[in-house]
Structures are given as C-alpha cells and as structure tokens.
Amino acid sequence: MHSARKHFDDLLGELKERVMEMGVRAEKMVSDAVTALIRKDEALAREIIEADSVLDEMELEIQSTSMVLIAREAPVGRDVRFIGSAMSISTELERVGDDAVSIGKKGISLPTDFPPEYAPDLTELSEKARAMLLDALRAFSRNDTYLLDQIIAADAGVDLIWKRVRRRLKQDMRDDPEFVDAGFKLIQAFHHLEYVGDHAVSIAERLEFVRTGNLVRFNRATF
C-alpha cells in the first residue's frame, strides 16, 4: 500500500513539474511580447507565435496525463481536486500564451513606432501581471496560501493601471485622429496584459478549491 501511494505521489509530482514548466514558458512569452511591441521587433514577435504551438501541445499533454491518472488511479478527495486543478491551470496558461501572441502581433501591425511615452505604463503593467502569474505558479508548487491573498490584492493594482491608460489612450485618439489606428492596437495590447492578471486570479481560485473543496470566486475590481 505504501509503495502504491509513493508511486502515485511520484506521478502527481511529475504532473506538477509539467504544469510549472508550462507556466514558466507562458510567462516568458508575455515578457518577450512586450519587448517585441516596444521595439517593433518582428522577428521576436514571430518567435512568440511559433512558441505558442509548443504551449498548446503542453496543455494537451497535461490534460491527457490527468485523464489517465483519474482513470487508472481512481483518486479521491484532495488528490482528484489537485489533478483537476492541473487541468484547469494548464488551460489558463494556454490562454496566457494566446494573450502573448496577440500582444506580439501588435509589434508587427502597429502602423507607427511604439509611442515612447507609453513604454513605462506597458512595462509596469507587464511586470505586475507577470508577478501575479509567477506568484500563482509558486502557490501551486509550494501550496502557499499566503500567495493567493497577494495575487488578489495585486489584481486591483493591475486594473487601476489598465483603466488609467485606457482613458489616456482614448483621449489621445480623440485629440489626434491619425493616432486612432495605433491607439486602438495599443488599447488591445494593454487589455491583453490585464487579462494575464485575470488568468492568475483564476489560478488562485482553483488553488483555493484544492485547499478547501469550495470553488470560490474572489472579488474583483469592477469597471
């Protein structure tokens, strides 16, 4: 019995490692996407697009492995909640990759050079959203409930930056009609970064479910 439990724990550990690897890749994609946009680096943007297919394959692998574990090992209680959380988290990470691709593509399609006055805002939002994502991954790896509270608190700050920049971009678009196309693409890029924070919150919700068995919905800022 002890040997069977150790074998199962080893399988769960391998599943956790795969999710963590996927998370690290997704976070790097977001970081690279912001760099590609600010620098209008088309080559880097295309690397992000190509990297997304790897992330998609990792999600499918995690989903498949999880289903096999459920079918073969018949887990119950916390174990089945953990496996379910791995599946849900991989889906959120795949969406983070999609957001990174969308940001990177703006580096290709932006009709002008990136407005330097918006670089600090984009960088700040990127850093905060990625920090939330990394905290979510650490919470998953370490079963650290304190980090969940940090993620929820940080989400309000991300939302404030997003709303502030959105107002500023809309005003710039009204003041300069020639800026409308670029402004719209920048709004989209900022919004995709805000989504990264939302994905981190969704991961935190799933981890709270693993801990308590209750699927809660943390309070989020409203628009």
Predicted confidence (pLDDT) at residue 215 exceeds the cutoff of 90: no
What's the whole-number mean pLDDT along residues 20-45?
A: 97
Please indicate, yes or no, if residue 125 is contained in any of the structural domains: yes
Q: What is the pLDDT of residues 185-195, one digit of tens each?
A: 999 999 999 99
Cβ atoms of residues 207 and 136 within 8 Å: yes
Question: Is it the case that residue 221 has pLDDT exceeding 60?
Answer: no
* 156, part of any domain: yes
Give Cα separations from 109 to 40, 46, 69, 123, 186 (angstroms).
Answer: 9, 12, 43, 19, 11
Give the model confidence (pLDDT) of 48-100 as tens digits: 999 999 999 999 999 999 999 988 887 777 888 889 889 999 999 999 999 99
Asked whether residue 33 is domain-assigned, the answer is yes
Higher pLDDT, 6 or 207: 207
Are 118 and 80 in contact, with CB atoms under 8 Å apart?
Answer: no
Q: Do the domain assignments include residue 90?
A: yes
Is 67 inside any structural domain? yes
Within 8 A by CB and 6+ apart from 61, the residues are 18
| Confidence at residue 216, expressed as pLDDT on a 0 to 100 scale | 60
Kindly state whether residue 161 falls inside one of the protein's structural domains. Answer: yes
pLDDT tens for residues 130-170? 999 999 999 988 877 788 888 988 999 999 999 999 999 99
Q: What global pTM score does this model have?
A: 0.91
Q: What is the CATH number of the domain that holds 95?
A: 1.20.58.220
**How does pLDDT run across 8-26, given as a tens digit for each residue?**
878 888 999 999 999 999 9
Domain assignment present for residue 149? The answer is: yes
Please tell me the predicted confidence (pLDDT) of residue 93: 98
**Enclosing domain of residue 13:** 2-212
Residue 223 lies in a domain: no
- Phi and psi at 40, nearest 5°, equal 55, 50
Domain count, the chain: 1
Amino acid (1-letter code) at residue 100: A
